[in-house]
A and B are shown apart, each in its own frame.
Chain A
Amino acid sequence: MDFSEIILSAIDSLRINKLRSTLTALGIIIGVAAIILLISIGTGLQNYITGEFEKLGTNSIFILPGKVRVGPQGGPPQTVNKLSFKIADRIEREKGTFINLVLPQIEKNITAEYRSKSKITLLIGTKSDYFGISDIKAKTGRVFSQKDDQTSKKVAVIGQTLASDLFENQNPIDQKIIVSEKSFTVIGVMEEQGNAGGIDIDDQVIIPLNSARILTGAEQVNAILVRTTSTETIPQAKAQVEKILLRTLSKDDFTILTQEQLLSSILQILSVLTLALGGIAAISLIVGGVGISNIMLVSVTERTREIGLRKAVGATSQDILSQFLAEAVILSVVGGLIGITVGYLGSLAISNFVKTAIPLWGVLLGIGFSSAVGVVFGVAPAIRAARLEPIVALRHE
């Protein structure tokens, strides 16, 4: 009995019990579809974040206050913020040949008001270069200029969400909003940025750094973004920044992150997440496998006479073993293939809401895992079938 005959004869047997075969395969279909769907969501999220980071360019260094550990053991910085304008100025003065741009940034939750409406939103104080680096354009009006910053102009560029919350259908340009009890003129509304991990980036107000400094009265900055001359000069620039910072600060007062580090840490977390999601889905596949085992055992009992007959007409124990194993594996592989299709269609269906992408390894994992399930859970019933004595099997009622 050669391989193709084993397969054909197994397919015949499965076709004879269509309903039962379909129900058994359903367990595998659901399991594999769930794996594919969850992996596609995880991978889609990774691709999205990578894309967003690439928009920022790869020649950036971030200086953050306190000791920030990114990665699975990360947590919020707990020390007092010792990053100040003074330090930013010092880096600016000594920026040397590797650093292009130093961009201190203030972030604060504030209340923005317009007439009777008010809303808690995120205030960002930064220099005009921020718009170019972050690829933010004004949809209406304009973004502020270097001159606006130098003269501490009380102007604001607001996000879409904030604009519609405060102004509804009214044109916000040249209107005055109250930010922390000071009046600012809206000069521009940003293009829609979208949603990043549940945070609405369109719900914010950006004002010139110097204006923010006066408004908050703070000497601390929340982050300093340093742009290097190129990707290659990042190590030198990082060393230089570190040297300047260590003059007045201790090692635990700041964290220097390169874009690459940040991205790889986030991706690391996301890949762990993706695997965890896939692992949860894999449990349902194992449940599907138990279903196969169960049905195959029932099938062996039900077909005892058939097994006896097959042996009587010349089937060896190995023939019977291969036949029942083939039935289990075909069920799970076909179930796996349908599951991949269902998972793919599912990920297309939700791609309007969540970014999805199906990596090749996900598909291979789905096929591999489902056939492994077929073998593992098909072996016990197949062995039971193969061991049946022909005369005992023939006598079975």
Chain B
Amino acid sequence: MKTLLSAKNLIKVYGEEPNLTYALNDVSIDIKNAEFVAIIGPSGSGKSTLMHILGCLDKPDKGKYYFEDKEITQFTDNELAKIRNTKIGFVFQAFNLLPRTSALKNVELPLIYTDLSKAEAEKRSTAVLNELGLRDKLSSTPAKLSGGQQQRVAIARALVNNPQVIFADEPTGNLDSKASQEIINIFKDLNRRGRTIVMITHEKDIAKNAKRIITIKDGKIVSDKKQTTSR
């Protein structure tokens, strides 16, 4: 499989001298197409910082990052926005849906920043929501949906642009175990159909659903293991 993401010697520092904190301290990582990677680590380990850089939301202080062989670290803010819009989907712990806005409109959100017509955007969003079993919730606002349903709307929003990779930041953090399993199953299903998934979590039980587990601690990768059997 072709390498999708490649980070080389990433360094990200917060704070000022002499109280520097290395959120990332010389991190290198390669992720191939169609992988399902879990990045695990305690809070403050730097896993969120890593996801932000890999997701083109932030830039490292040092090191290089390539997305599909393009050097992202050289990109302007607008070029990064374009990459996020067309190649990347995000799923967040707190769902981050627009309040008082229908599921359909929430899913359409990434498409309003493309050249797609309104009718086409609606068609595609409806299709993705249908696929995720939300056929009868198109006009529901987040307040009327359960946590699991809200996260499924968020996944639909991440998928609607047909991205290369989905970054999920603690996607089950706000869900009960039943809903968590539902969401994980969706990710596994997406991965089985060839979608690259990068999931951040601090729960080992959730992480073991991935095919590869990277453990990060104090800004460094401490282990990187392939799972032989994925359930």
Interface on A for B, CB 8 Å cutoff? 1-2, 5, 8-9, 12, 16, 305-306, 308-319, 389-391, 394
Contact = CB atoms under 8 A, between A and B. Distances in A.
Given A391-B52, A394-B92, A316 B112 contact: no
A302 to B, nearest CB: 10
Nearest to B95: A309
Contacts of B75: none
B99 A315 contact: no
A391 B57 contact: yes
Contact of A313 (B99, B100, B105, B109): B109
Contacts of B92: 309, 394
Given A12-B105, A391-B57, A317 B77 contact: yes
Contacts of B52: 391
A1 B112 contact: yes
B96 A309 contact: yes
Contact of B113 (A12, A16, A308, A314): A314
B157 A313 contact: yes
Interface string B77-112: 110011011100010100010111100010001101
Interface centre among A310, A312, A319 (most CB of B within 10 A): A312
A158 B161 CA distance: 87
A311 B118 CA distance: 20
B58 interface: yes
Nearest to B169: A394
A394 B96 contact: yes
Contact of B84 (A2, A12, A313, A389): A313
Decide if the interface of chain A is mainly helix, strand, loop or mixed: helix
Contact of A311 (B81, B105, B115, B157): B81
Contacts of B99: 16
Contacts of A312: 55, 57, 84, 90
A303 to B, nearest CB: 9
Nearest to A15: B100
Contact of B112 (A9, A308, A309): A9
A16 B112 contact: no
Nearest to A390: B57
A9 B52 CA distance: 27
A313 B110 contact: yes
Contacts of B101: 12, 16
A315 B105 contact: no
B12 to A, nearest CB: 11
A313 B161 CA distance: 9
Interface residues of B, number: 28
Interface string B49-70: 0001001011000000000000
B118 A316 contact: no
A322 to B, nearest CB: 11
A310 B77 contact: no
Contacts of B157: 313
Nearest to B109: A313
B113 A315 contact: yes
A316 B52 CA distance: 17
A312 B161 CA distance: 13
28 contacts: A2-B115, A9-B112, A12-B101, A16-B99, A16-B100, A305-B96, A306-B98, A308-B96, A309-B92, A309-B98, A311-B57, A311-B81, A311-B84, A312-B55, A313-B84, A313-B90, A313-B110, A313-B161, A314-B81, A314-B85, A315-B113, A316-B78, A316-B81, A317-B77, A389-B58, A390-B57, A391-B52, A394-B96
A123 B81 CA distance: 84
A319 B113 contact: yes
B164 to A, nearest CB: 14
Nearest to A2: B115
Contacts of A394: 57, 92, 96
Interface centre among B58, B81, B101, B109 (most CB of A within 10 A): B81
Contact of B77 (A12, A309, A316): A316
B84 A314 contact: yes
B76 to A, nearest CB: 10
A14 B192 CA distance: 41
Interface centre among B105, B113, B157 (most CB of A within 10 A): B113
Contact of B109 (A16, A305, A310, A316): A310
A317 B85 CA distance: 13
Contacts of B98: 16, 306, 309
Contacts of B109: 309-310, 313
Nearest to A310: B109
Given A12-B101, A313-B90, A313-B113, A391 B58 contact: yes
Nearest to B82: A314
B191 to A, nearest CB: 21
B78 to A, nearest CB: 5
Contacts of B96: 305, 308-309, 394
Nearest to A311: B81
Nearest to A9: B112
A9 B105 CA distance: 10
